Chain A
Amino acid sequence: MKIMLWGINHKTAPVEIRERLAIASDALPEVTRQLLQAPGMQECMVLSTCNRVEFVTLHEEQEPDLLEFLQAHFAVDADTLHPHMYTYREREAVQHLFRVAASLDSMVVGEPQILGQVKESFAVAQSVGAVRASLDKLLRMALVVAKKIRTETQIGSSSVSIASTAVELAKRIFGSLEGRQVLLVGAGKMSELAARHLLQNGAAPILVANRTFERAVNLAQRYGGHPIRFEELYAHADKADIIITSTGSSEPIFRREQAQKMLHKRRGRPIFFVDIAVPRDVDPSVNRLDGVFLYDIDDLQSVAATHLATRGREAEKAERIIQQEVDRFQLSLRTLDVVPAIVEMQKSFENTRQSETRRMQAKLQSLTPEQKTAVEALTRGLMNKYLHQTVHALKAAAREGDAATIKNICDIFDVDTGAMPPVRSQVVPELAVAVAAAPEDAFSVDLLGDDFAGSVPVTVGEYFLDAPLVRREKGD
């Protein structure tokens, strides 16, 4: 089975192209279902956000014609699409998917929404049956890697927009913004945006002062706040913890003396001024007062730019983590490839063991049931012990991509892996993962499902071949 990732994003296609391919969330299940019907397609997932449309597919030897699919479903001309699209295969596809989930390929590197969007697409693909063992493993790994990067790097730790920077700074002063009073002086777009961010983070109630009182009333109503007349501004200003100013005044509205009086009334409790106005509404000398923090538009922009630069540095660390995880994933895929050989080998050993036991049955007639169970356990134990080294060697060879050793081992034990159906499409995912991840000395995989009353360990071979289960003593 082959992995392919096809798509367009904000770097390769203008919005005119992206909007033609954009898939609404309610149409996503149907599109995924139709994509799954494409010839040669085995598993798939469709990711559609405002900045990208991507198709992750697992297919047989022959690649499905995705351009044809898009032409049929989106009425987009292939010649129009072709210059904007990218196609990644195998390792590159895995790497790209990991980068997307970790927000390294986003317009704003480190933004957190993309991870949620990947999860949603994954859930949709699962719901329509487009995700089975292999793609499930790949997508889960992508989510794990994204979370690892969020935890181990600072990629998403600081804000990069003016409004969210103001919120972050307010949190550094007041801790939680729950119940903090916000005063909006002037009703500009930017200040309204900052106020909305603060309210979303728990700040309330909001006071609005504007030279045109009606505008203050309108804005206050919109956010459940209280309007105040501009002439009464200084009488109410000391109640506010956060003051956002954006008036068109040519003279400062808040001077040092006024700020000092406000501080006195507040018994030294801090005040945070966010001055978005140009020319500025707050005298810069106010920042020199103990307990007053003043950020103008340039300061906010500069903090946001610093955070963006930090994200860039963290992205380099994240890229290194991605490389390691892609290697790990490739390795686990390789180990999965020898599962059929292991299964076949155990089947062969088990057949030999059973035929030898049957041959000796006449001589074992006199044994008690307990003794027979002990003999059964002994032969099975010996078989597993002999197989252990071989399995170890097979997995090691698979990890190193040593095809010659794998072939030699298979020849020695007369294992015909080519005769077996493709394993990754047949293997129960949990079991395949368990085999791939199992320690070298744990050849048997215990399935303690309901069917086995929670007590019967089952070998890999038995599970795959649906052979009659042989009850064994615990501790085999």
Chain B
Amino acid sequence: MHLLWLRVAAIFYCAACATTLPAVLYRRPRLQRIALPATLSGFFFHFVAIVEMLSAARHWMPVGMHEVESVLSILIVAAYLLVVFTYRATGFGIFAMPLALLLLITPAVGPDHATFNSPMIRSGWLFIHVGALLAAYVALIFSLLSSLFYLVQEQRLKSKSGPAFLAWLPSLAVMDSISNRSLTIGFHCMTLGLLAGSFIAQQSVGAAYFLDPKVLLSFGMWVLYVFMLFMRHNVGLRGRRAVYVSSFAFVVVVSVWIANLFSSVHRFPGP
């Protein structure tokens, strides 16, 4: 049944994508009135689908690739809705909604045949580990997006004759605030996720787990995150330099995630 709800959500996201783009670029309030309800409806059905999917699988965390993609997608939509309701910055939908739709397509097409039988997947710690890290990835995506928007708006203001189709870009202050907040939220999520992961690793594998260079890379990523936050808060990193640092951090985070997929110790074998 959850597949049906996922497909319904995908249809709503599709409608949201198709209407958000012209609504934002050409300032069409009528389309905006379709885009937001479509996003909210998609989010509702997506949420129902995930709850049904996880309860049917008798675990409370996403483990398979389809589940992870689906949860990542709903987190992106949730973050987008948060940005819309807090800042009225609907322009983020141009990128956030297609990304969410893209991530949802594979899970909505068919069921995931890979199964995970490890009893650990019912552990609350693992739920916190996975959930918090996924939220951190989403926060980083939004931080990168807002930094990029900041850069474009800055160039537009400096050139004094920027293209009219970019008139939808929010103010620099709004994008700076979104970028800062998402970095801070992301930092808390990442810290929580890594702490929970360390606790699980200590219990199940012991200290040997921390000898894996890919795991060490995760902690390196956390240090980089701290550095980036420090720079933003103390040096006032904005504009071009903020984009460079955010992009670098994003690339490292994605690399660490991919590296961990191939890690020999970052596994959940069945009993």
Contact = CB atoms under 8 A, between A and B. Distances in A.
B160 A302 contact: yes
Nearest to A267: B236
A310 interface: yes
A268 B172 contact: no
Chain A: interface size category: 20 to 34
B213 interface: no
A295 B30 CA distance: 35
A266 B236 contact: yes
B173 A291 contact: no
Contact of A268 (B29, B153, B235): B235
Interface of B, helix, strand, loop or mixed by DSSP: helix
B172 A173 contact: yes
Contacts of A236: none
A434 to B, nearest CB: 26
Contacts of B154: 290
B238 A268 contact: yes
Nearest to A241: B173
A266 B27 CA distance: 35
B87 to A, nearest CB: 9
A68 interface: no
A463 interface: no
Contacts of A293: 157-158
Interface stretch (A30-38, A114-122, A151-159, A450-458): A151-159
B171 A171 contact: yes
A11 interface: no
Given A171-B171, A173-B171, A290 B157 contact: no
Chain B: interface size category: 20 to 34
Contact of A175 (B157, B174, B236): B174
B181 to A, nearest CB: 14
A230 interface: no
A302 B27 contact: no
A267 B164 contact: no
Nearest to A171: B171
Nearest to B177: A175
* Chain A CB within 10 Å, residue with most, of B29, B160, B239: B160
A293 B162 CA distance: 14
B59 interface: no
A173 B160 contact: no
A270 B172 contact: yes
* Chain B CB within 10 Å, residue with most, of A169, A288, A290, A310: A290
Nearest to B169: A172
A339 to B, nearest CB: 32
Interface string B149-177: 00001100110110010000011111000
A267 B173 contact: no
A306 interface: yes
A201 B239 CA distance: 26
A166 B160 CA distance: 12
Nearest to B172: A173
A269 B150 CA distance: 13
A257 B99 CA distance: 43
B171 A302 contact: no
Interface in A158-213: 169, 171-176
B240 interface: yes
Contact of A172 (B153, B234, B239): B153
A465 B112 CA distance: 72
A175 B235 CA distance: 22
A243 B32 CA distance: 36
A49 interface: no
A172 B157 contact: yes
B157 A291 contact: no
Contact of A290 (B27, B30, B173, B238): B238
B234 A267 contact: yes
Interface in A263-285: 266-270
B158 A172 contact: no
A92 interface: no
A259 to B, nearest CB: 13
Given A169-B157, A293-B158, A152 B171 contact: no
B29 A310 contact: no
A268 B157 contact: no
Nearest to B30: A152
Nearest to A174: B173
A299 interface: yes
Contacts of A303: 160-161
B158 A174 contact: no
B141 to A, nearest CB: 22
B237 interface: yes
A268 B237 contact: yes
* Chain A CB within 10 Å, residue with most, of B157, B170, B235, B238: B157
Contacts of A302: 160-161
A265 to B, nearest CB: 10
A302 B153 CA distance: 18
Given A267-B236, A268-B237, A269-B236, A157 B171 contact: no
Contacts of B27: 154, 157
Contacts of B237: 268
Contact of A310 (B160, B161, B164, B174): B164
B241 interface: yes
A270 B30 CA distance: 35
11 contacts: A172-B157, A174-B171, A175-B173, A266-B236, A268-B237, A290-B154, A290-B238, A290-B241, A293-B157, A302-B161, A306-B161
Given A175-B172, A268-B236, A290-B154, 17 more contacts: A171-B171, A172-B157, A172-B171, A172-B172, A174-B172, A175-B173, A266-B236, A267-B234, A267-B236, A269-B238, A270-B172, A287-B158, A291-B238, A303-B160, A303-B161, A306-B161, A310-B164
A-B pairs, top 8 by smallest CB distance, nearest first, are: A268-B236, A267-B236, A175-B173, A175-B171, A290-B239, A175-B174, A174-B173, A299-B160
